[in-house]
A and B are shown apart, each in its own frame.
Chain A
Amino acid sequence: MKLPTFKYIEPKSIRRACHVLEEHGDEGQAIAGGTDLMMAWKNRLKVPEIVVDLASIPHLNHIRYSDKDGLRVGALVTLRRLASNPVVKEKYPALTQAALAVGTPQLQAMGTIGGNLCQDSLCAYYNRSPSSRQMLEPCHKMEGTVCHAVAGSKICWGTYCGDIAPTLLVLQARVTIAKGEGKEVFPLSQLYSADGKRPTSLKPGAIVTEIHVPSPAPRSGAIYLKFRLRRTIDYPLLGVATRLTMDSAGTICEDAAVALTAVERTPLLIKEAANARGKKLTDTVVEALAEAAYKQAHPLHNICGVTPEYRKEMVKVYVMSAITQTVQTVTQAGGAA
């Protein structure tokens, strides 16, 4: 499969990259690892006029940690490097799990944390070769007027399937976004638009440069569980991340967070997790949380593998399992944490 023709530039600064991207609007495309872009290009889903290589920019490759500040990861750090970093392994094992759950070892070695967060949404009616798209009327994501996933829908229902976002959401990550001359820091949830057509809220010329994760609270733990048919390669059919902080006796939940991926147009942070605060994690409490997640999940048949009904049922199973496993990791760490 040949790639479309494009101009290629290697800016030496973030400012220059932002400028070129802003100038070219939708015709410009920033490239980090490139793993999410190459197939879109090969299939002519995206045809950039100019490609701006972020790998040529210095200072986007750091992994820094301090107990006071937490973790700072440059957007161009590859998932493989992130997963194998000793501090990440020790302090944020859920992040290592999520990075190792992405694609294959090769895709982890190429794909970056920033690129993964900005991954485009997926839809079986959109992610197709040009020839197999011919038989379908152009959908919203193709600048058409129909949706093949939800008949009659006036909006695009492309599903957000990133593996890293749910974990970073429960870890309360913030992202630094450079634009023009300046940069701003936002909670990660604000990176997402909930628009299937364009899942991030980044405007042309805006670039994610750094991810900041606060240091883990004492007696806390997190986990990422991924449901897919094969243990490798596949995107998630469902991904669940949870984080819990327990009291010193290990019985009362002091803080809880749950996030889902692959079941909506955006990664979902389940706000009802706050209801578990100050409570014992009894079956009733955990089931109520799982039920809240279940209600907000909206899987469609635009992701191949198993039926949307099955995936929705699995939300409950995975949330409950993730909470149980997170409690175990916290209590196993014991008083040491």
Chain B
Amino acid sequence: MKRVITLTINGETHELLVKTNETLLDVLRDYLGLVGTKKGCDAGACGACTVIIDGEPVLSCMTLAIRCQNRNIMTIEGLAQNGELHPLQKSAIEHNAVQCGFCTPGWLLSAKVLLDNNPTPTREDVRSSIAGNLCRCTGYQSIEESILAVAEGKVK
């Protein structure tokens, strides 16, 4: 069963013929080549597939693509603007908060949602915001530092 849907991703509109049972994650990766969104557990537990929909952090592996019409989707590819990295991305590099890189797109977007809603988070707020993003290189310390540095205006 297929259906034509319109998705708005990173400000661009895409008209796609998708199956009713396809996840947003598979549509992003396989139809649109937006492979920055990672498929980790594909079971709703690891957060590697996090995208932002209408300002909220959402697991694309647990979302049906057909339910995303008329909604504003942001993937990691939309975080840098006009070729310039987002402060969170610059800070991640500066703080060596990227090791294998698999969790990075997910937590960057979780952190963006945090800072959009709360520009002056505490360390505990930062921890809570990325509580749904597993990092198996155990780089949480540097991830926290990199997010806090942006909140404190140390990286712009």
Measured CA separation A103–B20 after assembly (Å): 26
Contact of B66 among A8, A103, A233 (CB under 8 A): A8
Q: Which of A85-104 contact B (CB under 8 A)?
A: 100, 103-104
Are A34 and B110 in contact (CB-based, < 8 A)? no
Are B47 and A104 in contact (CB-based, < 8 A)? yes
Known: A6-B21, A7-B1. A105 touches B67 (CB 8 A): no
Q: Which of B88-131 contact A (CB under 8 A)?
A: 110, 113, 128-129, 131
Which chain B residues lie closer than 8 Å to A105 at the CB level? 57, 110, 113, 128-129, 131-132
**Number of B residues, CB within 8 Å of A:** 31
**Number of A residues, CB within 8 Å of B:** 30
Q: State the Cβ distance, A296 to closest chain B Cβ, in Å.
A: 31
Q: Which of B30-54 contact A (CB under 8 A)?
A: 42-45, 47, 50
Q: Does B64 interact with chain A (Cβ within 8 Å)? A: yes
Q: Does B8 interact with chain A (Cβ within 8 Å)? A: no
Which chain A residues lie closer than 8 Å to B63 at the CB level? 34, 110
Known: A106-B50, A107-B59. A34 touches B64 (CB 8 A): yes
Measured CA separation A53–B66 after assembly (Å): 10
Are B57 and A109 in contact (CB-based, < 8 A)? yes
Which chain A residues lie closer than 8 Å to B134 at the CB level? 233
Are B59 and A106 in contact (CB-based, < 8 A)? yes
Measured CA separation A100–B3 after assembly (Å): 35
Measured CA separation A5–B19 after assembly (Å): 8
Known: A38-B44, A42-B42, A80-B56. A6 touches B50 (CB 8 A): no
Nearest CB in chain B to that of A108: its residue: B132
Are A39 and B43 in contact (CB-based, < 8 A)? yes
Are B67 and A55 in contact (CB-based, < 8 A)? yes
Are B56 and A6 in contact (CB-based, < 8 A)? no
Are A110 and B62 in contact (CB-based, < 8 A)? yes
Q: State the Cβ distance, B127 to closest chain A Cβ, in Å.
A: 9
Q: Does B146 interact with chain A (Cβ within 8 Å)? A: no
Which chain A residues lie closer than 8 Å to B64 at the CB level? 3, 8, 31, 34
Not counting A5-B21, A38-B44, a sample of 4 additional A-B residue pairs whose C-beta atoms are within 8 angstroms of each other reads A35-B59, A42-B43, A105-B57, A233-B134
